[in-house]
A = this chain, B = another copy of it.
Amino acid sequence: MSIASDPNRLLPAEPGVRAIARSLLEQVQDLPIISPHGHIDADMLLHDTPFPDPAALLVSPDHYVTRLIHASGVPLDQLGVGPGARTEPRTVWRHFCAAWPLFEGTASGYWLRSEFEHVFGLTEEPSEAAADALFDTISARLKDPGFRPRQLFKDFNIEVLATTDDPLDDLAAHAGLAADPAFQGRVVPTFRPDAYINAHAPGFADNVTRLVQSAGDGKSGYAGYVTALENRRRYFIDHGAVSADHGVRTPLTLKLDRVEAEALFEKARRGDVSAAERDAFEAHMLYQMARMSVEDGLVMTIHPGSFRNHHPGTFERFGADTGHDIPFAVNYTEGIRPLLADFGTAKDFHLVLFTLDETVFSRELAPLAGFYPAVYLGAPWWFLDAPDAMLRFRSAVTETAGFSRSAGFIDDTRAFCSIPARHDTSRRIEASFLARLVAEHRITEAGAARIIVDLVDASPRRVFKL
């Protein structure tokens, strides 16, 4: 039997623990997928656009995949990355197949193997020899109407899918899907204002100008800026949004008085600002975003701690999100305090905290989530969205915060076909962790069964107000 089909895949090896895990897994295996945070394109679902080819579907846009092939020495343009890529899809695919052994033991390797088997019905592993045949087989499948996005959405048993959107997006695709009687799924936008708040980012001033002009109710300056953000949040809520996401550099927050905030805003717009002032402005705006969430009810999620575009040469040539964002240490305890001092016990405020720095799981996040009613633990994210890292997460947070403070699984993916494999991985790891606790007589098997259903199904609905 292949790895991806083995019913015991990802479960603990010890037979007694495995049997418990199998039984827990049965409780959740057929539950619908709830995906409250990700990067799927709503237009693709609106128009039910066929996937172009195997490389464009599975390789070029997935920086989890291209990064490791790049590390092995294949230039990114050979992988179809970047705006000007001209490499033939078949060539990209050959590189990918030749690089297949690199993915052994990685999360991406597991997801891909699972997709090949469960989505495409393939029985052969990728290899240099099999590359062309595989390319042809998958290409043929992609022409089949059964492989169009809407049919897969149904086959994957997705109930809710959140996209990530620019505040000035008109959300026409979301409106179109909601109005389409032929589409039964729920696709909701997510407000992601980074480009309008991150004063370090290139384009900040222009973005702000566009924002104020289009949504500032005719006001100018800081007042127009805040009004425009509030208005766009309202627009998102009217189009079904349940959360606002913040990809900040650090989780620093700061409450400035209006005069200070206005002054920093004007300096930041002019680009006449020190690094410390930019940091202060961003910290203030993260605080403001929490204030708005308290007022308008959008769940707030924070994804900090990634040094974006670490390699300048790659950024210049291929752009952002091309595999060289590198995590660093974060300090939630002091950084998030001004926000929590004012809003940590605010009624119905939900704040989901993510990290790429595992050290904060036991030291900061579990203690915060174990006291503040507003704080929930985000699932292990990005580099940590993998079996062993998920087990370390549960081990690190549970003894302080229990299971009730978890926000549920988030797939955060740009790779549509990986969604079932990612949720399946998460469910198998939750079952594995709980099975160990049962086998060690820390919790009862009945308790574990109740907990896994809550983690997989009720938690994301509750925390993301779905």
Binding site for B on A (CB under 8 A): 3, 6, 8-17, 67-68, 70-73, 101-107, 109-110, 307, 310-314, 323-329, 331, 333-334, 337, 340-341, 344-345, 356-359, 362-364, 366-373, 375, 383-384, 386-389, 392, 395-396, 398-405, 436-437, 439-444, 447, 450-451
Given A311-B372, A313-B345, A357-B363 in contact, is the A333-B337 Cβ separation under 8 Å? no
**A372 contact set on B, CB distance < 8 A:** 71, 311, 324
Name the residue of chain B whose CB is nearest to the CB of A312: B341
How many copies, total?
3
Which of B310, B326, B333, B440 touches A310 (beta carbons < 8 Å)?
A: B333
Closest to A110 in B: B442
Determine how close the nearest CB of chain B comes to the CB of A197; give it in whole angstroms: 22
Contact B10 A106 (CB under 8 A): no
Q: With both chains docked as a complex, state the minimum distance between the C-beta of A369 and any C-beta of chain B, in angstroms.
A: 7
A-B contact pairs, 13 of them (CB 8 A): A11-B440, A12-B440, A70-B371, A71-B373, A71-B375, A71-B404, A101-B450, A105-B402, A105-B437, A105-B443, A106-B399, A324-B371, A329-B363
A311 to chain B, nearest CB (A): 6
Verify A71–B326 contact, CB threshold 8 A: no
- B residues within 8 A CB of A369? 71
Instruction: Please give, as numbers and ranges, the residues of chain B lying within 8 Å of A328 by CB-CB distance.
Output: 331, 333-334, 363-364
* Beyond A72-B404, A310-B333, A392-B395, 6 extra complex contacts between A and B, CB < 8 Å: A3-B443, A70-B371, A71-B401, A102-B404, A328-B331, A386-B400
**Which residue from B104, B359, B373, B400 sits with its C-beta under 8 Å from A106?**
B400
Contact B357 A6 (CB under 8 A): no
The answer to whether A362 touches B345, judged by C-beta atoms less than 8 angstroms apart, is no
Quick one: which of B10, B384, B387 contacts A362, CB cutoff 8 A? Answer: B384
Taken together as a complex, chains A and B put the C-alpha atoms of A389 and B356 apart, in Å, by 20
Distance from A147 Cβ to chain B, minimum over Cβ atoms (Å): 27
Q: How far is the CB of A396 from chain B (nearest CB, A)?
A: 8
- Kindly provide the distance from the CB of A190 to the nearest chain B CB, expressed in whole angstroms: 25
